[in-house]
Amino acid sequence: MAKGDMGNQQVLILPEGSSRVLGRDAQRTNIAVAYAVASAIRTTLGPKGMDKMLVSELGDIVITNDGVTILEEMNVEHPAAKIMVEIAKTQDKEVGDGTTTAAMLGGELLKNAGALLDQGIHASTIVNGYKLAAQEATKHLNEISKKVSLDDTASLEKIAVISMGSKSVGAGTSKDHLAKLVVKAIKQVAEKIEGKVVVDTDFIKVEKKEGGEIDDTEYISGVLVDKEIVHSGMPKLIEDAKIALIDGAIEIEKTEVDAKIEITSPKQMGQFLEQEEKMLKDMVEKIRKSGANVVFCQKGIDDLAQHYLAKVNISAVRRVKKSDMEKLAKATGARIVTSLEGLGPKDLGFAGVVREKKVAGEQMVYVEKCKDPKSVTIFVRASTSHVVSEGERAVKDCIGAVSSAVEDGSYVTGGGSVEMDLANHLRKYASSVGGREQLAITAFAEALEIVPKTLAESAGMDAIDTLVALRSKHEKAGVKSLGVNVYKAEVADMEALGVIEPTKVKKQAIASASEAAEMLLRIDDMISSKGRPSGAGGMPGGMPGGMGGMGMD
């Protein structure tokens, strides 16, 4: 209960059981919580990063080292921790990769800010310094980036392999195989709009089924629909398929209004059923006349209609998801129609082959060999459900990274080399700024070094020695692409090793992390109106506490 003191009069502001954390205490709490979250996922960075096992309240298990998946599954409670989760979510939505780096950088920026606050530097000064540092880092990133285009398959495949680096999906050759599939898919769906390359990643469908191994993952130049052909009498393999997409039901619609039909004799009953039959026959006849031999229907198909369709050798799939219908339209060139009236050859799409195939005990419909499809499928296979889920996450990260590189048209070297270069550049920039802000800019530079430091730690190297070696070589030798080779546990030239990453991923990580850090540093008063008993995962007085099962560093 907060009290304001007006002379001797007490004024009650907040309800019973609520609490308030003020000033430096609020900042300390937020920094501690955010750093605890960042520390939790820090060990997952890079090819030698460790995995996390997350068990939900229902006992569902997720084994992953994907930053955003870990943070989402962790079910954090504290508001500052939720902001850290938002960093990773934004990174995932915008560029699809680099989620661990973004959250880790946010935590490190806040930790360094905490040290500056202890020295008596005001939060506003630190925020200004961080803003200047983020702007300068982005500007420097643009200067050191190298160009990449949609036709540069070799570079795009390198970017794809590196983005999957931390995921434990099969041996090294498996990553090359997946990288080739992703680059092929992106090149297929990419479109040039007003001179710019645009990749709508929604039209690269990632389907997964356990069974087989990661090398059995395949690229389908069309759409894989996780449904079966509705009637056993329908053809299961259709070549030169003419496809109709119907957003409606092929059945007799029941009236919405309360209506009563009175039938007084068996003859009337027969007429009524005959009329229903005739209506269904007419529907099937309209489909047949259009020239279609495959139908994908978003709603239901009556049993009798299925029988009539089978009689005229038309294969049908029902209750297809709306998103799949849109992908089918993009892949085959068909138009989605809501009514069978006026369905004609111009509404139909084309696929070289439509076939039903049994995969891991379930029937699936392959729509493939489409002419220049603008929607394709990557069908991920692996031995168990946990591995196949991690394979799917690896492919999605890979799609995000490669599409970012294609749209932005630039890349930088990885392995912590670009962070080292940015840190050196920011230190020089800090001395030109002067004032107290330069301390914040130097703190920002030190925070960036967490990336090579973590990579060195995960490879079993001495982190301090590695950082010192990288700093001096970047400074004296002037080789900007020196980073950590985690496989050989040594400092090496990342460009020579082909370790490259999209510039957009780095820019977004710096922007998300610095904005979140700035926002949390500005908070000097936390008011919780939700009273919670102390000891029940909360702090004394009801403020949401640290994270369940995680201490505050």
CATH, residue 230: 3.50.7.10
Residues 361 and 423 in one domain: no
Strand pairing category for 410-413 and 146-147: antiparallel
Residue-averaged pLDDT of the chain: 85
Domain containing residue 77 = 3-147+413-528
Beta bridge partners of 356: 365
CB 227 within 8 A of CB 317: yes
DSSP 254: P
CB 160 within 8 A of CB 398: yes
Report the pLDDT value the prediction gives residue 270, as an integer from 0 to 100: 83
Of residues 64, 69, 90, 100, which has the active-site annotation?
100
Total domains in the fold of the chain: 2
Of residues 66, 97, 347, 421, which has the active-site annotation?
66
pTM, 2 dp: 0.79
Residues 52 and 143 in one domain: yes
Report the pLDDT value the prediction gives residue 97, as an integer from 0 to 100: 84
C-alpha 244/C-alpha 340 separation (Å) is: 10
Tokens of 314: 């038309």
What residue spans of 95-152 are helical by DSSP H? 99-118, 123-144
C-alpha 550/C-alpha 553 separation (Å) is: 9
Residues 113 and 16 in one domain: yes
What stretches in the chain show pLDDT beneath 70? 1-14, 16-17, 166, 168-172, 254-258, 530-553
Task: Indicate if 377 belongs to the active site.
Answer: no
Task: Indicate if 397 belongs to the active site.
Answer: yes
Within a domain: 166:
no
Report the pLDDT value the prediction gives residue 2, as an integer from 0 to 100: 47
Within a domain: 405:
no
Within a domain: 57:
yes
Task: Indicate if 66 belongs to the active site.
Answer: yes
Within a domain: 189:
no
Of residues 97, 324, 347, 397, which has the active-site annotation?
397
CB 102 within 8 A of CB 509: yes
Residues 6+ apart with CB under 8 A from 153: 183, 187
Residues 452 and 313 in one domain: no
Within a domain: 215:
no
What are the pLDDT digits (tens) for 131-164? 999 999 999 999 999 998 888 888 898 888 888 8
Last residue of some domain: 351, 372, 393?
372
Within a domain: 196:
no
C-alpha 54/C-alpha 59 separation (Å) is: 9
Longest dimension (CA), the chain: 101
Residues 7 and 141 in one domain: yes
Question: Phi, psi (5° rounding) for residue 108?
Answer: -70, -40
Q: Kindly report the CATH number assigned to the domain that includes residue 440.
A: 1.10.560.10
Within a domain: 86:
yes
Tokens of 107: 């935590």
Residues 123 and 239 in one domain: no
Last residue of some domain: 372, 387, 405?
372
What are the CA-CA distances from residue 347 to residues 85, 149, 244, 327, 355 (Å)?
Answer: 45, 35, 7, 15, 21
Within a domain: 233:
yes
Residues 238 and 363 in one domain: yes
CA-derived radius of gyration, the chain: 29
Q: What is the DSSP string of 1-52?
A: --EEEETTEEEE-SPTT-EEEEHHHHHHHHHHHHHHHHHHHHTT-STTPPPE
Residues 368 and 418 in one domain: no
Question: Phi, psi (5° rounding) for residue 349?
Answer: -110, 170
Last residue of some domain: 372, 397, 430?
372
- Nearest in space to 14 (alpha carbons), one of 496, 546, 481, 530: 530
CB 315 within 8 A of CB 293: yes
Q: How many other CB atoms are found less than 10 A from the CB of residue 294?
A: 25
Tokens of 81: 């921790």
Beta strands in 211-323, from DSSP E residues, in sequence order: 218-220, 223-225, 237-246, 294-297, 315-317
Report the pLDDT value the prediction gives residue 166, as an integer from 0 to 100: 66
Tokens of 129: 């310094």
Residues 363 and 446 in one domain: no
